[in-house]
Each structure stands twice: as structure tokens, then as C-alpha cells.
Structure 1
């Protein structure tokens, strides 16, 4: 019997954050099956993805209209041919995420530098889950790693303990950095978790269905711990504020709006050119 109370978001919303090819790309025929999995024909599937890409390009163009920010982009410490690995959860995996906006910013502002932004975000992943996959994710290597993990670590289910304790999160993040240092020459940059809009989280049908909650006190505690790391840290708690401007959050209160994703890119650029 079908569960009439199950939450079923529109296919385009699912496609924005769910990218099975990153997890199961080794399965024969998966690429051809993806449109049908999302209930779309091949043309509609391509059009939906293209629309997300157009939005991120427009967001990048909007950022570069600011002369000061455009000047900072020119001063970003990326060298010609660098590969930038963007690591994170759904906030990174999002088809209109900071990583996608950054890709367009660099393409538009520094077209001759042949810079690559590889979006390695994995929706719903904790630091422990990414750690399990980490060695394989470091191929074909990277010159920069920008890591924005931890938002799922602090998720509470039915108001229980966080999924990953603060001490475990810090240890896992440290291991990610250590393993990368052994296997690559990449320079590392941290993004702290993004604050949430707790009222929107509480009202979200998806999170109510899954009994998922977030507390900004948990997010701030993890952000404070990350801020003590040796590598550069982009403080997104400070960039968003608590409480945040409502315009920076999407309807569910956890995932940033396009304006919020732009704020992440701005904070990243400012940090790397300070």
C-alpha cells in the first residue's frame, strides 16, 4: 500500500541535489537511465540541468559586476592549469552551488588560466562517510582542495544526539587533510558549516517527515573548532550571521538560496585575497 503521507519533492528539486553518477557511475547504463530515474525524458533532463547552469553563470556575472570583487578574483592564488577540488555535502553538490558559481567566475574572469573546478560534493554525506571514500576521490589529484563538510554531522534525528560528535568531526576532518597531504601537493582551504534558519527547518515537510533538525549552537561549535585549524578558514557563520538574512536561505532553511551561494563565493574570494 502506498504511504499517502510520504514527502515527494518535485523531480527538478531532487535533480538539483541528487547525483547518482557520483556514487554509482560504475554501473553499466546508468548515464542513459538517469533521465528516467527522475521521471523525465532525455531532452527535459538536459534542459533542467542547463537551466541550473545558466543560473550559476548569471550569478557569477552578477558578482563580477562588482569591480572590487572582480579585482580580487584576478588576485586569487590559483596558477594556470590548477585543478580545484570542491568537497562537501549537498550545499556543495547543489547544481547551483558555490562550486558551480566559482567555476563560472574563474572561466569568465580568467579564461586563459585554464582553471578547473571539480564538484565532488556528495549530498547527505557526513565527514565519516566522505572519509570512507576519500582516497578514491583524490584521483586524478588536485592543486587545491576546498572542504565544506560538517553540516550533516550536526544533524539531529528525532532531537537525539548529533549524527557525528564534535570530537569525531574534528578527527575526521583532520584525517581528510592528513591523507590528502600524503597523496597530493594540494593546498587546503576550509569552509565552516553554514548556519540554518531554524524556523524554516522546523516547518519543512521534508525534514518533518525525516524528523531531522539542526541547531545553530551545534553549527557554531563545529565552526569554532574548524577555525583553529592551521589552513585558511572561510568563516561562513560570520558571513551569514546568526540569525541570517532570510534571503540567504532556501525554503527548507538548511540549503542556501542562490544569493546565499553567492555569499559563500564572496567570502571565499575575500578570504583567499585578504
Structure 2
């Protein structure tokens, strides 16, 4: 195997943290074996399937360790027990890399539930890195195929993503974001008859973003992300307002060096807000 790519294992692990080829729309519509996915990733990262399996295993172990630690906190265990998820329900997360993150909030939730003895076969992460609201609308057939009873939807960060050097063009206007969110909300609640929880995008750490993307033909602006978060609030009243509650200054330790992706600590912060919201606004008598 020859490749121009030279990567270290930590760099490969970082890529795998946000990349699950099994969720790519074409490969969900035309599935291949798990070994084929490992081979694909190995080819992409100039590595071997064995190394890919080992790195994925280390990510799973890190998530399991973090969830185990979370479960030592009695209020967190009680919050989990109070979630409005009935036995046998299918709970699906939809979003971008913040949700797709193998160390992220939804993976922590799924692992926490599994560690408490819940059957999590119906707890499915459909997050895909880079997704906009338009991308999720395009792959609605895959969400329908997942047969959700409850959908947790966090989008908007990539709608605010700007491309170009001399001219910066956003991936979506606020009007387009609002239209796409309204369509997704209607499709999920009316076509699928599923419960829907919408989460605003988190803020970005502008200082880190500016430094990290200084030489790149793409950028995020805190004001644009705030504008998108406002559209989410306006379009879906009662959304989890992560943007307003998550501090984004450089001292918090909640954001990675790129200023866009949450650190593991940031992901735990997100999980806490989502769990608290679900427990508060959606009571149920038939909980896990």
C-alpha cells in the first residue's frame, strides 16, 4: 500500500474520533461489512485494519471509563433514571461532528445507560461530521429507516460555517436554516410520529477559531453561530439552549484547540444540559 499521507497514531485516532463510515449515507443505503469499513479507514489513513480496530477500541474504552466515572455521581444516576425513555423505545441522535464524536455527549449517554443494565440496541447515533440542516434533510430516508420513537437533534454549527478566503460565504442563510429546521421538525413529528428534542448549537471560542483556521479557506464566526442559535430558538420554542448556557471563553477548558469542537469536558457539559432538560420537560411513568 502506498500513500502520500503520513500520520501518527494520535492523528489517526483524532480522525476516527469524528468519523464513522458506517453512518455515511451511501454506505447506509448500500451497506458493507464491518471489515470493509475497517479496510476503508485503513486505506484513508495509510494504516492497517488491525491498527484501526485498536484505535477504535481505545476510544470505546475512554468513553466507557468516562461513563463509569459519571455514574459515581448520585444526582447523575437519578437523572438517568428519570429520563422519559420507555422500555423498547428507539432513541436516535441526529447532528454533526459534535454528536458524531465517539467521546461525545450521546455516546456517553448510551454507555451510561448500558452500564446501568439498559438494553441500548435502540439507542442509535446518526451524527455525521460536517452535516448541515440541509444534509440531514437530504438523508431523512435514513432517519425514517431507523424508526425512531424519540429524536435528539443538534444542528446549526455547520450552517454557520463560512468558506473562502477573500470572500466568506456561509453554508446556509438564516432563512434557509429556519426553513430546513421547520421541515425536519414537521417530518419527525408528523411523518414519523416521534418525540423531538432540538438542541441549539453550542457557541464557538473565537480566539481559538481564529488561531486554528488562520490559514484555512474556512472559518466560523461567533456572531454567525449566535444568529443560527437564535433561529433554532425561534423555530423550535423550548429547544435546549446550549448556546446560552455553555461558556466559550478560553479559560473554561470546554473547547478543543480548533475552538469549535467540545473537549471531553465540554461533551460532559452538553450531556448534563440535555439530560436535565429531558428530565424536566418530558415526564414519563414508564422509564428505563
TM-score by length of 2: 0.84
Instruction: Indicate if the aligned counterparts of 1:107 and 1:115 stay in contact, CA closer than 8 A.
Output: no
Does residue 1:196 correspond to 2:197, yes or no?
Answer: no
Tell me by how many angstroms 1:188 deviates.
0.3
Aligned partner of 1:116 in structure 2 is 122
The 8 Å contact of residues 248 and 254 in structure 2, kept in 1 or not, is answered as: no
Task: Give the equivalent residue in structure 1 for 2:284.
Answer: none
Selected match of 1:57 from 47, 56, 64: 64
Tell me the secondary structure at the aligned position of residue 152 of structure 2: strand
The 10-residue stretch of structure 1 (10-19 or 235-244) with the greater mean CA deviation from structure 2: 235-244
Alignment of 1:1-20 (within 5 A): 10-20=11-21
Q: 1:217 to 1:79 in 2, by over 3 A?
A: same
Give TM-score scaled by structure 1 length: 0.88
Q: Is the 8 A contact 1:103 1:116 kept in 2?
A: no
Does the 8 Å CA contact 2:178/2:235 hold for their aligned counterparts?
Answer: no
Unaligned runs of 5+ in 2: 281-288
C-alpha distance in 1, partners of 2:39/2:104? 24
Structure 1 residues 245 and 65: CA distance shift in structure 2, 3 A: farther
Q: Deviations over 1:138-185 (max 9, x none)?
A: 213101100011100001123624210111101101111111223312
Match of 2:82 among 75, 81, 96: 75
Paired residues of 2:97 and 2:127 also in contact (CA < 8 A): yes
State whether residues 92 and 123 of structure 2, in contact with CA within 8 Å, keep that contact through their aligned partners in structure 1.
yes
1:219 Cα deviation from its structure 2 partner: 1.6
- Aligned Cα root-mean-square deviation (Å): 2.4
The answer to whether residue 95 in structure 2 is matched with residue 94 in structure 1 is: no
Residue 178, structure 1, aligned to residue 186, structure 2: yes
> Could you say if the C-alpha distance between residues 169 and 8 of structure 1 is closer, same or farther in structure 2, counting changes exceeding 3 Å?
farther
Change (3 A) 1:49 1:127: same
Q: Deviation string for 1:103-156 (max 9, x for gaps)?
A: 0111123x1455632110111111112211112322131011000111000011
> Could you tell me whether the CA contact under 8 Å between 1:234 and 1:267 is conserved in 2?
yes
Determine which of 131, 134, 151 is the counterpart of 1:128: 134
The residue number in structure 1 matching 2:286 is none
Count of matched residue pairs? 267
In the alignment, the residues of structure 1 paired with residue 237 and residue 144 of structure 2 have an alpha-carbon distance, to the nearest angstrom, of: 18
Query: How far has the Cα of 1:102 moved from its partner?
Result: 0.8
Rounded Cα–Cα distance in structure 1 between residues aligned with 2:89 and 2:276: 19
C-alpha separation between the residues in 1 aligned to 2:157 and 2:84? 27
- Structure 1 window deviating more from structure 2 (9-18 vs 261-270): it is 9-18
Which 10-residue stretch deviates more, 87-96 or 55-64?
55-64
SS of aligned partner of 2:234: coil
Gaps of 5+ in 1: none
* Aligned mates of 1:58, 1:173 — CA distance in 2: 35
